[in-house]
Amino acid sequence: MSYWVTRVPLVEIEELRRAAFGDAPALPSAVPDSPRAKLLAAIVLGAQGRYAAAATLLGEIGRGRDPVLASLALSTFASHRRQLGGHRAAFARDGAALRLVAGLTGVDDPDGLDAAGARADALLGLAADNLGVGRLPVARRLLARAEPLGWRARVRKGWVTAEIELASGRAADAVAPAEAALDLATATGALRHVTKSQLVLAAALGATGEREPALHLVHEALGVSEKFALRSLSWPAGLLAAEHDPDAPGRDRSRVDAVLHAVLLRSDPDGRRLARDSPWVPV
């Protein structure tokens, strides 16, 4: 049985696009029964930290006949595993996602839900996987292979580039790609991507000693992530707030604990195990 049982009039696919990539990152009450709609719904569910529900949808799409949507579903599932600290667990899905779209072409999609976007997602995912396990040279090579033509891939490439520079001890070199990602996400009106970009830039600025602007960005990101229940972003924002705000570290860590508890309750058993075993997730 599908996770979604729709008993009310179906929403338009554009409303789901707006939830996944626009200025209203809240899931509508009803979702059309199509693979593309379910993919968009799973993206929003993952942003909310509702990983078990997202996995149900992504597993169905990943086994489907459309190789582009299947690839995007695998990459999305891999990103959810990384959000739970499971970088090694993400490797297989990102690799499979890349194989599905090797050599494929097709009609362009404004948000990168096409063959080129799926290929960029898989390569950027593999770069992030290798970054998470400390293989920085491999991460750089994969990053160089990604050709992010669309806005979403370019934003994500900015994130991964900044994170690689931070992991390499070159915080000053992380600022420019993080700023570029934030500028593009803001110009596009992608609220969730703006919030993530603020956190990446805050980490870069904080690492260069710019604590005050970093904390300002973190507080803005916290406000949005809490307003829209974007738990996948609110707990990293809380950690950054605790790091950069000497006046309230206990309050911020308490917030992180509460959010992570909610996330684990909404995760599948493998996801909970990954989070508990991960050095990246303070469970």
Query: At 64, which CATH number?
Result: 1.25.40.10
- Compute the chain's Rg from CA coordinates: 18
pTM confidence score: 0.93
Q: Are residues 91 and 122 in the same domain?
A: yes
The answer to whether position 95 is within a domain reads: yes
pLDDT, position 190: 97
Helix, strand, coil share (%) of the chain residues, nearest 5: 70, 0, 30
The answer to whether position 189 is within a domain reads: yes
Q: Are residues 176 and 141 in the same domain?
A: no
Can you read off the two tokens belonging to residue 125? Answer: 């995912």
The answer to whether position 47 is within a domain reads: yes
Q: Are residues 210 and 135 in the same domain?
A: no
The answer to whether position 280 is within a domain reads: no
Q: Which amino acid is at 165?
A: E
In this structure, how many other beta carbons lie within 10 angstroms of the beta carbon of residue 21? 24
Q: Are residues 72 and 185 in the same domain?
A: no
Cα-Cα end-to-end distance for the chain: 33
Question: Which of 164, 68, 77 is closest to 119 using CA atoms?
Answer: 68
Phi, psi torsion values for 185, nearest 5 degrees:
-65, -40
Provide the number of structural domains found in the chain.
Answer: 2
**What one-character-per-residue DSSP string does 59-107 give?**
HHHHTSS-HHHHHHHHHHHHHHHHHTT-HHHHHHHHHHHHHHTTT----
The answer to whether position 52 is within a domain reads: yes
Query: At 227, which CATH number?
Result: 1.25.40
Q: Are residues 199 and 236 in the same domain?
A: yes
The answer to whether position 157 is within a domain reads: no
Cβ–Cβ < 8 Å for 218, 241: yes
Q: Are residues 128 and 196 in the same domain?
A: no
List b or e across 140-164, with b for residues whose CB sees 16 or more CB atoms inside 10 angstroms: bebbeebebebbbbbbbbbbbbbbb
The answer to whether position 1 is within a domain reads: no
Can you read off the two tokens belonging to residue 44? Answer: 């929003």
**Long-range contacts (CB closer than 8 Å, 24 or more residues apart) made by 160-166:** 160/124, 160/127, 160/128, 160/131, 162/200, 162/201, 162/203, 162/204, 163/128, 163/131, 163/200, 164/127, 164/131, 164/136, 164/139, 164/140, 165/204, 166/203, 166/204, 166/207
Question: Which of 3, 124, 20, 114 is closest to 69 using CA atoms?
Answer: 114
Q: Are residues 130 and 203 in the same domain?
A: no
Structural domain boundaries, residue 182? 170-269
Query: How would you write the pLDDT of the chain (283 residues) with one tens digit per residue?
Result: 333 433 333 457 889 999 999 999 988 877 778 999 999 999 999 999 999 999 999 999 999 999 999 999 999 999 999 999 999 999 999 999 999 999 999 889 999 999 999 999 999 999 999 999 999 999 999 999 998 889 999 999 999 999 999 999 999 999 999 999 999 999 999 999 999 999 999 999 999 999 999 999 999 999 999 999 999 999 999 999 988 877 766 677 788 999 999 999 999 999 999 999 999 898 7
Q: Are residues 235 and 107 in the same domain?
A: no
List b or e across 242-272, with b for residues whose CB sees 16 or more CB atoms inside 10 angstroms: bbbbeeeeeebeebbeebbebbbebbbeebb
Longest dimension (CA), the chain: 54
pLDDT, position 248: 65
Give the span between the Cα atoms of 279 and 7, in whole angstroms: 43
